[in-house]
């Protein structure tokens, strides 16, 4: 009996381990809606909506100028967080990195054993993504501090080897330093050459760029475009004609659930069957099945040839995002430096 009591006491006195960790906590406890304007996020705030792209490779773009981190899955934005990067004398290096190590309960080996929850190490000389202080300006010793809850979600979602691009206006084009809804870089960290449709070009379809993998479709009222992503690579783009382009439609997510009957919703195809789609609206966060048209009074048309190419590609897990928001970045002629601004070194712990 005494042994049992000692065991129970020992369990209660331990910090939460594999079943849950006990850490210092920074930032907001819950995300704001993904459609929250990025420039309105206050220190410690973040957005996160992983359902918008249920599958696909994950990458993070950190803008030193904006002091924000942008997380993409399958090339589509699923979350934005305010961050704090390196202060004067301890700059955060720019370049393309992959995560080398993940440690849910890391402590610094060079800064007084400081707690660094949800560490994803980027270099051998101490730079990492991790939960940390967020005063609203660069304050770290070179690491990228994230809100704790954002760091936890990213840690759980991202695999080891995830690509992280850290950029500023001196090392990257505007589309990378100020990312948009679609990822400005590939999963390997190279700048995406998202060529716009020519004036006489109705659509573009290049499935050979990524032959297999999860499919995500984004339709933007602001841009009047539909963009198709696979494995984070754009494989198709088309013009979209809205009957009432000035009327708001909000933001909606549709996810196909049945490979045998899944078809795009009728807002994408006249008379198309709507079966086994799960609908998630940012405004009410309620699931419905089967789903009715999320856009009942604002139809749009897509070139039939483009749909004939797209529809056979739709399978279970295909996501369709319909949004008011602009998704296309502004192009810049500045080339991106793909090499880190700091040489690798060893022998120091992360900060």
220: in domain: yes
Q: Which long-range contacts (CB under 8 A, 24 or more apart) does 103-111 make?
A: 104/21, 104/155, 105/21, 105/23, 106/130, 106/350, 108/349, 108/350, 108/351, 109/348, 109/349, 109/350, 110/348, 110/349, 110/351, 111/141, 111/351
State phi, psi for 281 to the nearest 5 degrees. Answer: -100, 135
For the chain, how many structural domains are there in total?
Answer: 2
User: Is residue 156 domain-shared with residue 270, that is, in the same domain?
Assistant: no
Q: Which of the following is catalytic: 143, 145, 178, 252?
A: 143
- Domain region containing 35: 24-177
Q: Is the pLDDT of residue 9 over 50?
A: no
User: Is residue 114 domain-shared with residue 226, that is, in the same domain?
Assistant: no
10: in domain: no
Report the SS3 class of residue 119.
strand
Q: Is the pLDDT of residue 202 over 90?
A: yes
Task: Quick: pLDDT tens for 268-277.
Answer: 443 333 334 5
pLDDT, average across residues 116-143: 94
User: Is residue 219 domain-shared with residue 318, that is, in the same domain?
Assistant: yes
β-pair type (68-73, 76-82): antiparallel
pLDDT, average across residues 76-82: 96
Q: What is the CATH number of the domain that holds 297?
A: 2.40.440
User: Is residue 213 domain-shared with residue 166, that is, in the same domain?
Assistant: no
pLDDT bracket for residue 260 (50, 70, 90) = very low
Closest by CA to 22, choosing from 8, 11, 32, is 11
The predicted structure's pLDDT at residue 111: 64
The predicted structure's pLDDT at residue 303: 86
Report the SS3 class of residue 213.
coil
Averaged pLDDT of the chain:
78
| Angstrom distances, CA of residue 38 to CA of 2, 125, 161 | 56, 31, 27
2: in domain: no
Closest by CA to 143, choosing from 158, 135, 132, is 132
15: in domain: no
pLDDT bracket for residue 266 (50, 70, 90) = very low
User: Is residue 150 domain-shared with residue 247, that is, in the same domain?
Assistant: no
Instruction: Indicate the helix (H) or strand (E) that contains 173.
Output: none
Report the SS3 class of residue 191.
strand
Q: Is the pLDDT of residue 188 over 80?
A: yes
User: Is residue 147 domain-shared with residue 247, that is, in the same domain?
Assistant: no
User: Is residue 123 domain-shared with residue 221, that is, in the same domain?
Assistant: no
What is the percent of the chain where pLDDT is above 90?
45
User: Is residue 172 domain-shared with residue 208, that is, in the same domain?
Assistant: no
Residue 7 among the catalytic residues: no
Residue 130 among the catalytic residues: yes
43: in domain: yes
pLDDT bracket for residue 115 (50, 70, 90) = confident
pLDDT, average across residues 149-166: 96
User: Is residue 248 domain-shared with residue 109, that is, in the same domain?
Assistant: no
Q: What is the CATH number of the domain that holds 96?
A: 2.40.440.10
Q: Is the pLDDT of residue 20 over 80?
A: no
47: in domain: yes
What is the Cα–Cα distance from 268 to 28, expressed in whole angstroms? 37
CB 93 within 8 A of CB 172: no
User: Is residue 287 domain-shared with residue 161, that is, in the same domain?
Assistant: no
Q: Which of the following is catalytic: 7, 90, 107, 130?
A: 130
pLDDT, average across residues 187-211: 90
pLDDT, average across residues 161-190: 89
Task: Quick: pLDDT tens for 296-334.
Answer: 444 678 888 988 898 888 877 788 888 888 888 654 333
The predicted structure's pLDDT at residue 258: 54
115: in domain: yes
What is the rounded end-to-end Cα distance, in angstroms, of the chain?
45
Global confidence as pTM: 0.80
CB 315 within 8 A of CB 215: yes
Instruction: Indicate the helix (H) or strand (E) that contains 1.
Output: none
User: Is residue 225 domain-shared with residue 109, that is, in the same domain?
Assistant: no
| Angstrom distances, CA of residue 198 to CA of 127, 173, 264, 303 | 42, 22, 26, 15
β-pair type (144-146, 128-131): parallel
Residue 20, Cβ density class (10 Å: 0-12 exposed, 13-18 middle, ≥19 buried): exposed
What is the percent of the chain where pLDDT is above 70?
73
The predicted structure's pLDDT at residue 249: 76
pLDDT bracket for residue 159 (50, 70, 90) = very high
Instruction: Indicate the helix (H) or strand (E) that contains 272.
Output: none
User: Is residue 116 domain-shared with residue 66, that is, in the same domain?
Assistant: yes
């Amino acid at each position: 009996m005494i042994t049992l009591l000692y065991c129970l006491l020992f369990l209660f006195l331990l910090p939460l381990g594999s079943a849950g960790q006990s850490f210092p906590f920074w930032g907001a406890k819950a995300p704001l809606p993904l459609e929250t304007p990025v420039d309105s996020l206050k220190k410690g705030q973040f957005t996160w909506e992983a359902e918008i792209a249920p599958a696909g490779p994950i990458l993070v773009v950190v803008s030193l100028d904006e002091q924000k981190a942008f997380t993409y899955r399958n090339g589509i934005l699923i979350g934005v967080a305010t961050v704090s990067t390196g202060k004067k004398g301890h700059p955060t290096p720019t370049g393309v990195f992959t995560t080398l190590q993940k440690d849910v309960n890391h402590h610094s080996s060079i800064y007084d054993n400081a707690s660094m929850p949800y560490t994803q190490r980027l270099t051998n000389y101490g730079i990492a993504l991790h939960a940390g202080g967020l005063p609203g300006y660069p304050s770290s010793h070179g690491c990228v501090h994230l809100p704790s809850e954002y760091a936890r979600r990213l840690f759980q979602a991202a695999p080891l080897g995830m690509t992280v691009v850290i950029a500023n206006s001196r090392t990257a084009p505007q589309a990378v330093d100020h990312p948009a809804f679609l990822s400005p870089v590939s999963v390997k960290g190279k700048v995406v050459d998202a060529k716009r449709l020519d004036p006489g070009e109705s659509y573009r379809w290049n499935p050979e760029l990524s032959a297999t993998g999860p499919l995500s479709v984004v339709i933007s009222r602001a841009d009047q475009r539909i963009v198709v992503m696979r494995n984070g690579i754009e494989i198709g783009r088309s013009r979209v004609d809205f009957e009432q382009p000035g009327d708001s439609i909000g933001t909606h997510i549709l996810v196909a659930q049945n490979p045998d009957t899944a078809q795009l919703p009728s807002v994408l195809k006249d008379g198309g069957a709507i079966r086994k789609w799960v609908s998630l609206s940012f405004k009410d966060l309620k699931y419905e099945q089967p789903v009715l048209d999320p856009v009942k009074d604002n139809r749009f048309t897509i070139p039939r040839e483009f749909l004939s190419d797209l529809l056979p590609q739709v399978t279970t897990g295909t996501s369709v995002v319909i949004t008011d928001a602009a998704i296309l970045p502004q192009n810049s002629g500045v080339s991106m430096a793909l090499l880190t601004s700091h040489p690798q070194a060893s022998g120091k712990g992360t900060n």
